Copies of this chain bind each other. A is one copy, B any other.
Amino acid sequence: MKVKSNDEMPGHLARRFQQIATAVFLSETTAAGYDLTPVQYAALSAIKLHPEIDQITLAGLIAYDRTTITGVVDRLVEKGLIIRTASSRDRRSRELTLTARGEEVLAGVTPAVEAAQQMMLRGLSQTEAAQLMRLLRKVIDDANDLSRAPYKPLPSR
């Protein structure tokens, strides 16, 4: 049987890239004095853009699984970065909003996050980096509904 090299497997390359992206993110943000995971940062910035968002809508915006978001939100609440209150319109759902400290942390850590995005692409030229991101967006967009946690844009109200 012919065995394919890992380098020929897009799935393997995906795992490696994500592994590196996470390591660089944590290294940069830790060096800047913050204690946030990539996932927590994405949630935080989505909540800033959409105050009083419920968990399901948040999960759709950043393509998280609905069961994963529960723990992420728990930890953000524990850290005092967001508050979770029962919705008055729909008592099933919880509304998420940044605290003042959440605003501070988000603003403070963002430069380190930007630096991380640069560093993880350091092997590529500007043109290549743009090309990679274009191709990733295309492939992700086309395969969006193949995972249990697809991206779902904000419902228009």
Residues in A lying within 8 Å of B, measured CB to CB: 1, 3-4, 6-25, 27, 38-39, 42, 45, 48-49, 62-63, 106-107, 110, 114, 116-117, 119-124, 128-129, 131-133, 135-144, 146-149, 151
Contact = CB atoms under 8 A, between A and B. Distances in A.
Interface of A is mostly: helix
A23 B6 CA distance: 18
Given A12-B62, A17-B17, 13 more contacts: A1-B110, A10-B132, A11-B38, A15-B38, A18-B18, A20-B140, A20-B147, A23-B147, A24-B146, A119-B146, A123-B138, A123-B142, A132-B139
14 contacts: A11-B116, A13-B136, A14-B21, A14-B120, A14-B136, A16-B136, A17-B18, A24-B146, A27-B146, A123-B142, A124-B138, A124-B139, A128-B138, A132-B135
A120 B132 CA distance: 16
Contacts of A42: 6, 12
Given A120-B146, A139-B123, A11 B22 contact: yes
A24 to B, nearest CB: 5
A42 B79 CA distance: 37
A23 B131 contact: no
